[in-house]
Every structure is written in structure tokens, then in C-alpha cells.
Amino acid sequence: MQTFTELTSLSACEAVDKLKRGEISPLELIDAVEQRVAQVDPTVNALPTRCFERARDHARRLLAKPIAERGMLAGLPLPIKDLTDVAGVRTTYGSPIYKDHVPNESDIVVKTIERQGGVVFAKSAVPEFGAGGNTFNEVFGTTLNPWDRSRSASGSSGGAAVALATGMAWVAHGNDMGGSLRNPASFCGVVGLRPSPGRVARNPGVLVDSLLGVEGPMARTIADTALLFDAMCGENPADPLSLPRLGEHFLDAARQPQRPTRIAFSADLGITPVDPEVAAICRRAVERLAATGVVVEETHPDLSEAHDVFQTLRALQYAASHAQKLRDFPDLLKPEMIWNVKKGQELRADEIIEAHAKRAELIARTVAFFETFELLLTPATIVAPFPVEERYVEECAGQSFGSYIDWLAIAYAVTLTTAPALSMPCGFTSAGLPVGLQVIARPRDEMRLLSHAAFIEAELQAALAQPMNPR
């Protein structure tokens, strides 16, 4: 019998292999992670809602099936982000408006994961409605960075990233509009993958054809991330953007690392200030790749219009999704939400049309760029983890930001291109805080992305192989 520490220290791939060989059961993993959560979460506040009995009921139903019929995850427990509905489990969206909300039906992405043998045991912490790159809300309080609990875990998948880093999860679900998978992965030293739109089916929301938000996986390594990604993918008729599964597995790509031939590096994409130490750490990582024979050119596609385009399209989505909340509960929304909804309500038709037209140009330029380069590498975020009491980054490298989302430009510019991108660990600051490298590939080319990222991971040797205890 393995101890709970031994079980929670397994990689996700190791745990699933053991599940499929019958060496451990999903119930043992649930017991192990419950003990780890009790030990660690009071110090970081990453998993405020737990549903262990629901998880055990699901695990018992899986155990009644032959092992070969238990899905890709075979009973692996995982948390679902608190922006995403799980039937019968308190789901607050980080808002006091929904502090007692218990949905009757799960989101499409949850149903997909559960059909593939994922066992939901908790909801991970988020900022209110996912707005802002710092995980705090009026329902559950603040989530703390395990590398330094005086620092932010970023967001909006902050609880998921902290749970992974501290061994309270083997894999975790998240979603991403302006970097919500990539930023917390960078701040917490784990991997977060934003897939191409449509790769993972989900409840589409009010704007059914929006390409901004996607669902994606997080884990401590590239292979573990690919494992969950395989389980999340697939089409669903209720999501008109969803794509069919490929004939290949993303995990196979991650297990076959390939050195890229020609890559591009940009410290700032030409659109944002970057903390000099963060830029230097990412540049050193790229230099290590160049030393293996990879041809590196310092360049990037023209994304100069990204700020105006993202601000407009995001505001449109916030107005469509949250205007009624502003009408009905103005005193229960945080100031950043109110600003974003009002901005969307004030948009003119010509502004929206222009934003869509410019976005089409951004996508075309990006696709053309990847005819020359296999990857584009940048810092995943422009700063190291900042003091948790700061709501967001107001200034970087001497430049002040005009809104609470401007500091996220190096991530949201990539969102606009529809290119898949992941954040992976690449080093530490002099203060011992993680820095993430953003790795971007051609739209819909997650296979290449994961294979090359696995090569980079092996060369940099920066992956968080074992969970850490909060500091």
C-alpha cells in the first residue's frame, strides 16, 4: 500500500498507468488527494469547494466496469474551475450573486471529461467571473502563490495552478480568454495549454461563435497536460465551433519530443513592456535551445493592433454575458467588471466591425508567419508574481497601464490569432519565483506544439517533477 504522499507525488501519466493495470484504484487516489488537500489547502486557498463523496460515487460506478471501459483517465481525480458548471456541486463563478448556486447539469466539457474517466473532486478558485489576472473574490477570499504566499497566483485559473504545484491535483481543468491558463501556469511553475478554438467542446454561451474563450488542460509536465487534453477533446453538436477528435493522440506527440528546426523569439511581441529580469530568463532559455542546433531568429508577426481589437471584442463579450447582472446586482460586482460591461454597452457598430476586420488581418499574418517558423517563443507573462494585495499590475518597466487587463497583452495578442499556445516553466528569478515561457504554434497544430514543447522541457529541465510544499 502506497502512502498518500507517494500517490500524490506520481505524475498523472504514472497514476493512469497504474489505474489501467489495476495496481491502484480511483478510491485510493481520492483518499490520497483528500489528505493532501486537508494538509495544504488551508495555507493557499486553492480548492474552496470539495465534493469527495460525489467523487467516490463516480469512482464506484467506474469500478463496476471492466478496466478497458473506464476511459482515457481511468478514474483519475481532478478539479474543475469554478467558472464551469458541475451538476450537484456548488458553482459560484467567484461571485456573491451566485454564492449558493448549485447547477442541475454539468457543462459539456465536464461531461466529456467524466465520460473519459475523470473523477471530479473539487472546484478550483477563480476571480469574479474570471475577470483579472489575480485570483481573489468576495465569496472565498484570496488564493496564494505557493512559491511565496505573499504573492499572487495570477488568474483566472489560479486555484488550478496552485493545486497542481502543491500536489493537490495530478491534472486540472481551466479556461483561457486573455491568458487565464497561461498566466497562472507561469506564476506557479506548471504547464497551461490554451488550445485552438473548437478543439474542446463546451457550453457556448451567449455569443455562440466567439473565438476568444477556450477550455484547456493544466498539469506539471507537458506529457500530463497532453493526457488531459486528449480526454477533453471532441465535437459536440451543442457547440457549433467544436472540432472532431483527430486520429492521433496528443499524448503520443508529447512522448515523442522533436527538436524544432527554426523558431522565432520575441521578448515583447512589439506591443508591451516586459520586466528586464523576466525577459532575460526567457532569452537564456532560448539560447539553450540555440545551443542544440535550433535556428533562432528574433522576430514576430505584426500584432500592433491587438490592444484595440482585444479590448473591443472582450468588452462586447462582457456586455453580452453580464449586462443583466449589472442591471440587477450593481452593488455585487467588482469595479473591473462594471467598467468592462459598460465599455461593451457603449460600443458602436462601426467599432465592432473594425475590430473583427482587424482580427482577420492578425490571423492572416500569423498563419503566414508560421510558414517560415515552427514556433514563436515569448515570455508567458511580463512580470514575475506580484504582491497579492495588488489587484492587478499597474506598471511595468516604467510604463503605466490604462486598464486592469493591459498587462496581459503578451497573452491576449496570441488569443486573437487563434494559435495554440502553452506556458511552461523556464527558470526562476533571483527571488526564487517561477517564470514561464510561452510556446506558440500554427493554428490547429497542437501536435507539433506538444512534441516541440516536450523537447524544450527536456532541454531546460525546469519542469516541476515533484509537488512542493507552500512557502
- What cell does 112 get? 466529456
- Tell whether 471 is covered by a domain: no
> What's the rounded Cα separation, in Å, for the pair 258 and 451?
6
Nearest to 322 by CA among 34, 10, 97: 97
pLDDT string in tens for the chain (471-residue length): 689 999 999 999 999 999 999 999 999 999 999 999 999 999 999 999 999 999 999 999 999 999 999 999 999 999 999 999 999 999 999 999 999 999 999 999 999 999 999 999 999 999 999 999 999 999 999 999 999 999 999 999 999 999 999 999 999 999 999 999 999 999 999 999 999 999 999 999 999 999 999 999 999 999 999 999 999 999 999 999 999 999 999 999 999 999 999 999 999 999 999 999 999 999 999 999 999 999 999 999 999 999 999 999 999 999 999 999 999 999 999 999 999 999 999 999 999 999 999 999 999 999 999 999 999 999 999 999 999 999 999 999 999 999 999 999 999 999 999 999 999 999 999 999 999 999 999 999 999 999 999 999 999 999 998 999 999
- Tell whether 470 is covered by a domain: no
> What's the rounded Cα separation, in Å, for the pair 140 and 99?
9
CB–CB of 396/382 below 8 Å?
Answer: yes
Per-residue confidence (pLDDT) for residue 2, from 0 to 100: 84
Q: How far is the CA of 130 from the CAs of 180, 337, 403, 424, in angstroms?
A: 8, 10, 16, 21
- Residue 285 neighbours by CB under 8 Å, 6+ apart: 377, 426, 427, 437, 456, 460, 462
CATH number at residue 255: 3.90.1300.10
- What cell does 81 get? 474551475
- Tell whether 465 is covered by a domain: no
- Tell whether 469 is covered by a domain: no
- Tell whether 343 is covered by a domain: yes
> What's the rounded Cα separation, in Å, for the pair 175 and 194?
8
In angstroms, what is the C-alpha Rg of the chain? 20
Per-residue confidence (pLDDT) for residue 251, from 0 to 100: 98
Nearest to 217 by CA among 247, 263, 254, 244: 254
Range of the domain at 396: 4-460
Q: Which residues of 229-267 are buried (b: 16+ CB within 10 A; e: fewer)?
A: bbbbbbbbeebebbbeeeeebbbebbbebebbeebbbbb
- What cell does 127 get? 476571480
- Tell whether 38 is covered by a domain: yes
Model pLDDT for residues 448-459, shown as the tens digit of each residue: 999 999 999 999
Is position 81 annotated as part of the catalytic site?
yes
Q: How far is the CA of 436 from the CAs of 191, 279, 297, 463, in angstroms?
A: 8, 10, 20, 10
Per-residue confidence (pLDDT) for residue 398, from 0 to 100: 97
The residue annotated as part of the active site, out of 18, 81, 123, 358, is 81
Is position 180 annotated as part of the catalytic site?
yes
- Tell whether 293 is covered by a domain: yes
Per-residue confidence (pLDDT) for residue 317, from 0 to 100: 97
**In the block, which residue shows the cell 465520460?**
115
DSSP H stretches of helix in 64-189: 108-115, 158-165, 182-188
The residue annotated as part of the active site, out of 106, 154, 156, 210, is 156
Per-residue confidence (pLDDT) for residue 205, from 0 to 100: 92
Q: What is the pTM of this model?
A: 0.98
Nearest to 400 by CA among 314, 267, 273: 273
CB–CB of 135/125 below 8 Å?
Answer: yes
Residue type, 162: V
SS3 395: strand
How many structural domains comprise the chain? Answer: 1
CA angle 142, 144, 150 (to 5 degrees): 110
CB–CB of 191/426 below 8 Å?
Answer: no
CA angle 218, 220, 226 (to 5 degrees): 55
Of how many residues is the chain composed?
Answer: 471
DSSP state of 154: -
- What cell does 331 get? 452593488
Task: Report the 10 Å Cβ neighbour count for 126.
Answer: 33
Is position 95 annotated as part of the catalytic site?
no
- Tell whether 198 is covered by a domain: yes
The residue annotated as part of the active site, out of 11, 180, 196, 210, is 180
